[in-house]
Every structure is written in structure tokens, then in C-alpha cells.
Structure 1
Amino acid sequence: MRFAVIDLGTNTFHLLIAKSDGKNYEILYKTNVPVKLGEGRINDNIIIPAAFERGIETLKKFSQTIAEFNVQVTKATATSAVRSAKNGLDFVFSAKELAGIDIKTISGDDEAELIYNGVKLSGAIEDLSLIMDIGGGSVEFILCDMEKLIWKKSYDTGAARLMQQFFKSDPISDEDKNSILNHIQNQLADLFEVCEKYQPKILIGSAGAFETFAELIIRKNNQTIDISTTKTYKFDYEEYIAISLKLINSTHNERASMPGMIALRVDMIVVAALITNYVMGRTKLNKLTLSTYDLKMGVLASLL
């Protein structure tokens, strides 16, 4: 049996194709495209025409690839950008009409659960953990241990939203930094209450920005680790802090020239670093692990 999973994120559309014999699975193909569906007016809850068109064109290409791999089951999930957009239903309709892809728009709660299932599949959960997934439109937090999901919540404080609202300087000014941190502090109050009660031991970063943090450190240290084929990566805390502060204090051009940086994240990585450092500081966590398995692997797990 062959399965295709499409994850329509606010920044990136992902396609994953796998086959299973009922017991084991093998990933046959994966790709991602920086569609930037939340470009320009995500805080107005609008998918702008250029982003709308990029999204549909990408889905048409995904549809062709799915046909070439003779896939039997396809599952496409849309998250924050489509979920909150006034023209989100128009996008879902156009995807069906023009690309032949049925999209299910999932809730923030469902998104968090699928992220948990994906991270669990990676083997990254070794203790009482706080999983964090920084998307463009939303950020999901999941408190869990090796056996169970304890608490989960999705917040509309994604990197694209915060960037469009607060990030107006280069390098980012103290004023812009403080605006972002004040916003996070207000939004995440109940998260910190839950963490105070349960005292998680490790922060697990789910793919996305955390892959970029890892890639920057790997390149800096001339290591031979390939993040694209790795399930997990344990950060050295001091190395993570050093790279995050470098990102926050650098200009757009300085970040763009860093080995391991991808164009999509040149500016959003600053917001991701600010959120991550703030959460680690407030929860007194100094252990950070990357899980390259995220929502799309959670969807695959549910299909298998």
C-alpha cells in the first residue's frame, strides 16, 4: 500500500510518500516547497492572490508526483493559514477543482496531537518533555512523557504573524524584541502555569526552525551529520544559545550568508530564536532536542 501525506503549512507545503506492508514502512519520496501562504496579510486573515496561486500551482505538481508513484491513499491537511483565512474555503475548493486534492482543515488541537504522534515516532521522547512546533501561523506546545500526551495547546503566535506585526528593523531593535516578548508573555500564560506544575525536563523542537538551528551548528563545527536523514539531534545547550544570540543580533544579509541558512527562514529564524529562548528561560529548561519528525509523520502514523 502506498500513502501520500500533504502538509499545507503557513510557510511551507510538504509532500511525503511512503509504502507499507502492514508491519513496516519505507519513505519513498519527500519534498517541501516554500509557498509562503501567509505572506503579506496573515494577520488580516487573508491569503493574498499571489500566495493563493503559488499554493494551487504547488498542489498541481504534488498531484502529478502522487500519480507517478501510484499512490492509493492521499491525505492533505491544512493548518493555521487556511484555518484562519476568510478565503480559506475558497482555497480548499480550488485545490479540489484544479489540483484534484481533497484538503482537510484541522483544528489547532488536532494539529498538536498529530505533531505529538510524529515526534513520538522519532524516538525523541525520553523523559517528561515539552514539545514545541513553531509554524508560520501558529505555535503548538505539547506536554508529554514516553507513554502519554498530558496537555496540548495551539497558539496563534506563529513566526510569520509575529514578524509581520512587530519585526520592523534590521538588525532587530530592542523595541521590536520587547514587543514580541511582551506579546508571547501575554499569550502563553497558561503554558507557563502547566510547566510550573509538571516541571518538564527537555524541550523537543519539532522540525522547522529547529532543523535550521541544528544545520547552522553542524556546518559551523564541520560535522558530517545529514539532518534530512536523521530522526533526532541533541543540541549542546551552550552552542544553541550562542547561535541563537548570533541570529538575533545579526542583520538580514549576515544571516542570509550563514552556511546552512535557507532563504525562507532568514528573518523568521530571529522570531523563532526569541520564542525558544524565552520559553526555555521561563521553564528553566537547558536540554534541547530536535525531532525531524513532525505533523506529516504524525499523519502517516495515523494512516499506518
Structure 2
Amino acid sequence: MSDFLIDEELLAAIDMGSNSFHLAIARVDHGEVKKVASMSEKVQLAAGLDENKNLTEAAQQRGLACLARFVGRLSSVQPNRLRIVATNALRQAKNGQEFIQKAAEILPKPIEIIAGREEARLIYLGVSHTMANSGRRLVIDIGGGSTELIIGEEFEPIHTESLQMGCVAFTKAYFPNGEINQKDFDKAVVAARKELTSIANTYKAEGWDTVVGSSGTIKACRQITVNMGWSDDQENLTREGLEKLKDKMLKYKHVSDMEFEGLKEDRRAVLPAGLAILYAVFEILNIDKLVYSDGALREGVMYDLLGRFQHEDIRDRSVQAMIGRYSADLKQAQRVVDTAQHLFDSVATALNLNNDDSDLLRRAAYLHEIGLAISHSGYHKHSAYLLQHSDIPGFSQIDQNHLSHLVAHHRRKLRTDSKIDVMRVGGYKLIYLCLLLRLAVLLNHSRSDEMLPAIELTVKNEQQWQLSVSGDAKQWPLLVADLHDELLQFKHWDIELNIQSEQFID
């Protein structure tokens, strides 16, 4: 991957939302992302979740057909300049991996399932880059399966939350037949209020200067109030306008009866549920006025991708934050990072490893000891748990799963069944990275800056590795003992490790 993006090169993002799938293609112009093409389709993936939280075959086919159409527009975009993110519906789907495997046959890049707070961070990034700075913002995004609320200043979020309420999910729960009445609307509002109570006090105490809304539900509500003359002079969505919209909508008996200028047909069915959520947000957070922004998740994804090219990768900031939070030994982590990078560079070509693999190994090396903050006993398991279950800005659930497996296997015995688990998660590449991290940690067991023997790792083939140790190995008896033990562990994962030294021939 190049170190930077020059102007006029293309970026693209696919946002696989619970209600709609979106494709955005943009050019980089003086550090800004300028959208040049977009597509959007109402796939309603969340509506395809059955009572057991499995995606139905029909919903999967809708999604796959949409992705195939999107791919037809991506011929001019290089794969390393594309990100594909999925949100609440795939977070909830028990058979989500089945859908992802089918999609992998269509897409040029893997799908990243992002956690709710990561979705919120990216939404805020998209909004903040498409608006003039206006002090502290509260950003609201009502999606198909979840609602994100973020407080931030300039480009930095302060609070990020993702609540389990969305226009598709609430439509299934409270307006399943498209019928509209006061009783069902009130039930939906009460349900939304319950979700909001968990954050209301914290958010109101933090405060904000402006309220910004993004995405389909808020766009539709705002546009209707503008067309009806219920907005303010700046065409903002006001509490009074929202009240008028609610009263008008409740006069209809069915969604098919609604007549609102500017209401798109594919938004009609989910409007009552989306309006109920928005109504509760205005009420609980005492909002009087909301400004609409065209920026949303897909724009945030592209700005985040741009940052990775420009050495402003949020993932590295998150790694450093975790090192500080858990008081990890940064000097030791850096020793392991340096050794891991040396080993990686020696075998990357032979093992078909790329820059993304290098980044993953480096971040795992920095974080492999964070579990010591919990307990020395089995600290690698604690490290793995923290990486698997923490909200880590910039990382997808797949990224965190890979990191978790790397640190979980950097010490102690390797079992045959654990190899099967690692293979299932990340294939042979993740196997190789696990073994490289083990060697890097082992070679730094002394936790000292004293000179180590010169080490060279070569790969004869994918199942035969050779580690050459320069000099008299008797100078490092503990290292020799550790390497003897490691030979057996490598064999458990079907890798033959040979050690070559003047005094130590395996």
C-alpha cells in the first residue's frame, strides 16, 4: 500500500445498513473527500431477521443482488481504497458469517462488521467533515436497526452510544401491518424512551451547542416539514414542526394512505417507526431544533480510510490509548514489536504476507501484555478477552477477533484444536502471524536491552522454518532452553522449526 494518496485518486465505501445499502465513490481533493458517484438501495436486511435472529434466504439474496450491482460500479477503484462495513443487522444475525462467506465471492474486499460505538464514531466523522465547525455537537443518526447518538467537538467524539432501536426493527415490532394508530405510536415512543434513559443524564450534563441529524429517517422528516411549511427560516427541523408532522401522520389509518410531498415510496413503510424514535429523542433530550447533514457513515468510512493513508490512523492511537489504560510495559512492548517486524520482513514474501498483516502483527505485539493489569496468571487469556470485547475505535469486530487470537496464542502450549479455531478465523496467514509473535516474545524473555544474538528466520516451505542464531548459543542458555521447548509447540501446529547455531544444531 502506498504511504499516501495523491489528489484525484478514488476512494469508495459500501455501508451495509440495516435498512439501506449505500455505495459512495469520491475523489481526494486537497485532503478533502469529494463525492463523485453514489448508489442507494432499500435492502431492509433487518426485516429479514426471523424469530431466531437468523437472516432469511430472501433477505440474503436481496443483499447479495445489491452488492453485485454495487461491484459493477467499482471497476475504477483499487481494492485497497475500498472499505465495506456492516452494521446492526449483521451484528445481530446468528448466521451472519454464512452471508459474509457468500458475499466474499462477489466483493473485492472482506466485509467488516463494526460495533455500535465504532459505527457512532464513523458517523460523527462523516458529519463533522461535511459541516462548518459550530462548537459542541450532538449528532443523531436513526438507522434501520440501531440509533447512534454522539457528542463531539470539531473532529473528535466525546461520547458515543448505539441504542437498540431502529426504524425497521420498530416497524416489525409496532407497525407490522402498516396500520397507524395512536396506541401503537405511543408504545413505540415509550420503548424508545426506555432506551434513551440510559444515556439521557450523561448527555444532558455534557451539553451541546447544536443538534445535527443524519441519514434517511431524519432526512425524510425534515424534508416533509420543509415542504409543509413547518420548518424554521433556515429549514431546520423544529420540535413544533415535528409535533405537527406527528399529528398529521396519525390522521392516516395506514402507511399506504399517507400523502406527504417529498416522501419517497421506499421510506413510507418505516416512517411511523422512525418518527416515533425521533419524537422520543426530542422529548427526552429536550431538543428544540435540529440541523440536517448529508454526511453519514459512508463519508466517515472514507475519511477514516483517508487517514490511514496519511499516517493519521485512528487504530494506532487506539493501541497507544490501551497501552496507557492498562499500564502495559511500553519498553518491553517495543522490543517485541521490533523483533516481530524483523522476523516478519524476513519471511513476508515467502509466506505471501502483506502490509495489512504487518500492521496486525505490530499492534498485537504492542498489546500482548495488557492482560497483566488483571492478573499475572494466564494474562494472555485476559489480554485476548480485552481485545475481543472492548470498544476499540478504528477496529472492526473481525480485526479485534484476529488480535484476540494472536495474543491468546503468544505463550503456553499450542493445541491442535486451537489451530483449527485460528484457521477458521483467519486462515494460514493468522497461523503464521501467531507463530511470529510467539518467536518475538520468546526472544525477548529477558526483558532487557542487552544485545541479543543475531537472529535470521527463513522459510524453506510453508511447513519448514529455520531460525539461525549467530554466535555461541551457550551464552544464552535460557534462550536455548526456550527454543527447544518451542520446537514441540510448532509441531502441534504442523510447522517444523529447525534451529541453527554454532553450538546448537537441532
**In structure 2, what is the equivalent of residue 253 of structure 1?**
256
Partner of 1:200: 208
Aligned residues of 1:139 and 1:156 also touching (Cα < 8 A): yes
The answer to whether the aligner puts 1:54 opposite 2:56 as a matched pair is: no
Q: Partner residue of 2:504?
A: none
3-state DSSP class of the match of 1:211?
A: helix
SS at match of 1:86: coil
Within the candidate set 274, 288, 291, 2:290 is matched to 288
Decide whether the 8 Å contact of 1:207 with 1:294 is kept in 2. Answer: yes
Identity %: 26
| Cα 1:274–1:59 shift into 2, 3 Å | same
Give the aligned partner of residue 78 of structure 1: 86
Indicate the RMSD between aligned Cα atoms, in angstroms: 2.3
Q: Does 1:152 align with 2:160?
A: yes
- d(CA) in 1 for partners of 2:295 and 2:87? 17
Q: Do the aligned partners of residues 75 and 204 (structure 1) sit closer, same or farther apart at CA in structure 2, a change above 3 Å counting? A: same
Q: What is aligned with 2:72?
A: 64
- The Cα shift of 1:279 comes to 1.6
Matches within 5 A, 1:143-222: 143-146=151-154, 148-168=156-176, 171-221=179-229
Aligned residue for 2:144, secondary structure, equals coil
Q: Deviations over 1:50-101 (max 9, x none)?
A: 110011111111111101x344511100000111101111111111113444
Tell me by how many angstroms 1:135 deviates. Answer: 0.7
Q: Which amino acid aligns with 1:138?
A: S
Q: Distance in 1 between matches of 2:186 and 2:33?
A: 46
Cα contact 2:189–2:279 (8 A) shared by 1: no
In 2, the alpha carbon distance for the partners of 1:260 and 1:155 equals 28
Deviation at 1:150, TM superposition (A): 1.7
Report which stretch shifted further, 48-57 or 140-149. Answer: 140-149
Aligned to 2:338: none
1:10-25 counterparts in 2 under 5 A?
10-21=18-29, 23-25=31-33
Q: Give CA-to-partner distance per residue, 1:154-182, whole Å, 9 cap, x none.
A: 11111111111122566423332232222
Equivalent of residue 300 in structure 1, options 292, 297, 302: 302
Separation (CA, whole Å) in 1 of partners of 2:40 and 2:92: 22
Classify the secondary structure of the residue corresponding to 2:260: coil
Determine which structure has more spread, i.e. the larger CA radius of gyration.
2
Kept after mapping to 1: 8 A contact 2:143/2:215: no
Give 5+ residue unaligned stretches, structure 2: 1-8, 307-506
Distance 1:294 1:248, change over 3 A: farther
Shift of 1:207: 1.9
> Number of paired residues?
293
Q: Which residue of 1 aligns with 2:362?
A: none
Tell me what 2:400 maps to. none
When residues 84 and 191 of structure 1 are mapped into structure 2, their CA distance, relative to the original with a 3 A threshold, is: same
* Equivalent position to 1:264, from 233, 256, 266: 266
* One-letter code aligned to 1:122: T
Counterpart of 2:289, as a letter, is K
Report the AA paired with residue 252 of structure 1: V
Q: Give TM-score, length-normalised by structure 2.
A: 0.54
Moved over 6 A (4+): none
> 1:131 Cα shift?
1.3
CA distance, structure 1, for counterparts of residue 238 and residue 166 of structure 2: 25
Query: 1:44 and 1:6 mapped to 2: Cα distance?
Result: 27
Measured in 2, the distance between the counterparts of 1:248 and 1:276 equals 15
CA distance in 1, matches of 2:121, 2:177: 36
Distance 1:99 1:23 in 2: 27
Letter in 2 for 1:195: Y
- Confirm whether residue 6 of structure 1 aligns to residue 18 of structure 2: no
Cα distance in structure 2, aligned partners of 1:166 and 1:83: 22
